[in-house]
């Protein structure tokens, strides 16, 4: 339980040049490809580079980048079990999409790790889906630079999902009336709803001030041969794809404004108790960049 009577720990955030300068971006890209022990490489069934040293955790593939890397399960810590748990859903792809942001990739990561931004940036999309007393029900677990946050769904949203599961013959990898967000450093995050819909996001840096966010959605079913259920699921998939894009289009202008203002900030920001996931990412990057 967080003790809000105590001030949050002071975190050392990266200075602005890591968000704005092309030569810093080149140094960072090299550090991430050489010094990071493991990096997300895609999902089982994806084409991965020939000769790459790749291991799987459930349906998630990771590229071993260092010969002295710890075992993958150790690197992922408690989130290896979470990836395994969600993996059965990956057999049921529903769709994919991507949006480019005029912002540094770390701003997208900071944004997605900001557990408080739902109420302000997504007041009509994500925010009504979670319990009104969401602060009380929000649980966060951290392991090095990786982390997981879990929100209780509102009763109306949980009931909506119950009906979808029944009408669409959806299967659930877990009976969880929650919205879960798992982040694996530096570029993978997975959102899941009600223990059924799984959305795998990848943050792809293109330039110091340009990033593509790619995502793939999965909706597992109990009875894939059922034609009536198939038609319902296709309609549901189209609706969920539109909603997912709308949410990302709400994030994009915010991230782009932060990018535009970063260079003129008087110094690195301060993080509150609920923003420690962001501090963990800065710590891990600082260690990689200083090594
Ligand atoms: Fe968002």
pTM for this predicted structure: 0.95
User: Between 195 and 11, where is the model more confident?
Assistant: 195
**Of the candidates 89, 82, 77, the residue with the CA atom closest to the CA atom of residue 43:** 89
For residue 49, the CA-to-ligand 1 centroid distance in Å is 31
**Residues 55-101: pLDDT tens digits?**
999 999 999 999 999 999 999 999 999 999 999 999 999 999 999 99
For residue 164, the CA-to-ligand 1 centroid distance in Å is 24
**pLDDT at 187 exceeding the cut of 80:** yes
Domain count of the chain? 1
For residue 147, the CA-to-ligand 1 centroid distance in Å is 16
For residue 125, the CA-to-ligand 1 centroid distance in Å is 10
51 domain residue, yes or no: no
For residue 123, the CA-to-ligand 1 centroid distance in Å is 10
CA dist list (Å): 183 to 55, 110, 113: 18, 11, 8
For residue 281, the CA-to-ligand 1 centroid distance in Å is 17
For residue 54, the CA-to-ligand 1 centroid distance in Å is 31
Could you tell me the residue range of the domain that residue 114 belongs to?
89-290
For residue 94, the CA-to-ligand 1 centroid distance in Å is 21
**pLDDT at 1 exceeding the cut of 60:** no
80 domain residue, yes or no: no
**Model confidence band, residue 28 (pLDDT cutoffs 50, 70, 90):** very high
**The pLDDT value given to residue 10:** 85
**Model confidence band, residue 277 (pLDDT cutoffs 50, 70, 90):** very high
For residue 121, the CA-to-ligand 1 centroid distance in Å is 6
For residue 249, the CA-to-ligand 1 centroid distance in Å is 9
For residue 199, the CA-to-ligand 1 centroid distance in Å is 14
For residue 180, the CA-to-ligand 1 centroid distance in Å is 13
For residue 72, the CA-to-ligand 1 centroid distance in Å is 29
Q: What is the CATH number of the domain that holds 286?
A: 3.90.380.10
For residue 115, the CA-to-ligand 1 centroid distance in Å is 9
For residue 86, the CA-to-ligand 1 centroid distance in Å is 21
**The pLDDT value given to residue 2:** 63
Average confidence score pLDDT of the chain: 93
């Amino acid at each position: 339980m967080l003790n809000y009577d105590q001030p949050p720990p002071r975190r050392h955030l990266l200075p602005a040049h890591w968000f704005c300068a092309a030569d810093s971006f080149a140094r960072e890209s090299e550090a991430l490809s050489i010094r990071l022990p493991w990096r997300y490489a895609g999902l089982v069934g994806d084409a991965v580079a020939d000769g790459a040293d790749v291991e799987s955790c459930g349906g998630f593939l990771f590229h071993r980048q260092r010969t002295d890397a710890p075992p993958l399960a150790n690197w992922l810590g408690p989130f290896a079990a979470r990836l395994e748990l969600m993996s059965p859903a990956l057999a049921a792809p529903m769709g994919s999409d991507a949006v480019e942001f005029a912002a540094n990739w770390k701003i997208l990561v900071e944004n997605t790790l900001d557990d408080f931004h739902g109420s302000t940036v997504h007041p009509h999309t994500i925010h009504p889906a979670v319990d009104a007393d969401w602060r009380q029900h929000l649980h966060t677990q951290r392991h090095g630079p990786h982390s997981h946050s879990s929100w209780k769904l509102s009763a109306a949203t949980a009931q909506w999902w119950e009906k979808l599961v029944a009408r669409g013959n959806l299967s659930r990898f877990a009976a969880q009336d929650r919205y879960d967000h798992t982040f694996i450093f530096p570029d993978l995050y997975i959102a899941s709803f009600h223990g059924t819909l799984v959305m795998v996001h990848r943050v792809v840096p293109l330039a110091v001030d340009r990033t593509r966010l790619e995502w793939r959605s999965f909706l597992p079913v109990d009875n894939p041969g059922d034609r009536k259920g198939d038609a319902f699921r296709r309609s549901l998939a189209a609706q969920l794809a539109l909603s997912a894009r709308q949410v990302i289009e709400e994030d994009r202008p915010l991230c782009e404004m932060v990018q535009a203002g970063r260079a003129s900030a008087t110094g690195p920001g301060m993080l509150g108790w609920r923003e420690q996931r962001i501090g963990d990412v800065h710590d891990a990057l600082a260690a990689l960049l200083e090594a």
